[in-house]
Amino acid sequence: MWNRSEQTWWMVYTNRRATARGPKFAWVHGTDLGVASSADGGQSWTYRGTLTGLEHEWGHNTFWAPEIFWHEGTYHMYVSYIQGVPHDWAGHDRHILHYTSTDLLSWTFHGKLELSSDRVIDACIYPLPNERFRMWYKDEAHSSHTYAADSTDLYNWEVLGPVITGRAHEGPNVFRFRDSYWMIVDEWRGQTVYKSDDLSIGNGIV
């Protein structure tokens, strides 16, 4: 996203503790959000560190898959969150948390989103033509399918239900290109691409 204070591009991303010792998948958890910036339009990037001030409860916790959306003077971040540093995939709640900032450095915590289950990650936000906003996300409790929720204010969300079903997948990313809307998801065997004319539920085609 464009950092309006620095006048540089910022990339905020899922970090990994690749050299951390511990059983099984502990290295995937306990992660902060990494930051890199570019002053030349993305041709080169400088690592800047990790975002701070996101902790809302005690302990060493897990942050994944940040989605940052700029609207009317405020950055809204929706980030996947797991309490603690689990060493396995199963048995741990996953939630999407909402934060806001005016400078990408100081963040205000607004709470956990109430979505379709307690196993949700990978938020993606895009504005709808009717002045509403849509969030797509992965619901692991429902076959790891993409679900959607709508909002009028970016704070309160109404779950619509499944959008992309079939084979399990994650990481929905929605954008507009050449008069169509596109969604890319990760099926762990390559990327799958969907296309829509109007972002309506059930109107995606491979």
User: Quick check: 205 pLDDT over 70?
Assistant: no
What pLDDT does 175 receive? 96
Confidence category of residue 206, pLDDT binned at 50, 70, 90: very low
pLDDT of 87 over the 60 cut: yes
Instruction: Encode pLDDT of 125-173 as tens digits.
Output: 999 988 899 999 999 999 999 999 999 999 999 999 999 999 999 999 9
**Local confidence band at 201 (pLDDT 50, 70, 90 cut-offs):** confident
Is pLDDT of 203 > 60? no
Strands of the chain (E only): list them. Answer: 2-3, 8-14, 33-38, 46-50, 62-71, 74-82, 95-101, 108-112, 120-127, 133-139, 145-151, 158-164, 170-177, 180-186, 191-196
pLDDT in the model for residue 204: 47
- Residue 202 is predicted with a pLDDT of 60
Residue 89 pLDDT > 80, yes or no?
Answer: yes
Q: What is the pLDDT of residues 66-82, one digit of tens each?
A: 999 999 999 999 999 99
Give me the long-range contacts of 19-23 (CB less than 8 A, separation at least 24): 22/85, 22/87, 23/87
- Prediction pTM value: 0.95
**pLDDT, average across residues 107-124:** 98
Q: How many helices (H) and strands (E) does the chain have?
A: 0, 15
Token pair of 164 as six digits: 């992309």
Residue linked to tokens 């992660």: 31
Sign of the torsion angle spanned by Cα atoms 27, 30, 33, 34: negative
Rounded CA-CA distance 29/82 in Å is 8
